[in-house]
Structure 1
């Protein structure tokens, strides 16, 4: 790992960026103490839905969760909201 003073890093930013792009990690220091690391950017991840479906299919549970209907997050009907719950029978 390379350490470089912040004053020098300011003057060589383009060079440092190229080195970091090549995979190097550079620690920038102020008064001999590390203040930041310059590291290569990572690709933003996310959920690979297709891979998940393929994995579930491989396990034979391809419809385990089913599909989420298009109206899943629609407001509930008013009569549903005002109907009281049945009494609780703690067993």
Structure 2
């Protein structure tokens, strides 16, 4: 996280906002002590309606069922991953 004094932040405010928009957090200090932090607001999603949730789950199940079976049990898969089997 970058840190800028008040005067430097004031002179570079537009540049700092561009950096925040790219995902960086900026700390503003006064006499070496942090007094503020610039960061992007959290991304919020609107809650799905009941119909949207049902459609999502139906599509998820359709995609899941369309995939070919693995050909081994979950326990066998984990065992082969753990033991380093090339299968």
Task: Give the TM-score band, short-chain normalised.
Answer: 0.5 to 0.7
Q: Give me the TM-score of the superposition, normalised by structure 2.
A: 0.53
- Following TM superposition, the consecutive aligned residue runs of length 4 or more in structure 1 with deviations greater than 6 angstroms are none
The structure having more radius of gyration, on CA atoms, is 1
Q: Give me the TM-score of the superposition, normalised by structure 1.
A: 0.51
Greater helix percent: which structure? 2
Distance 1:56 1:21, change over 3 A: closer
CA RMSD, 1 decimal: 2.2
Task: Provide the residue aligned with 2:12 in structure 1.
Answer: 12
Give structure 2 stretches of 5+ with no counterpart: 59-87
Task: Provide the residue aligned with 1:39 in structure 2.
Answer: 39
Give structure 1 stretches of 5+ with no counterpart: 58-91
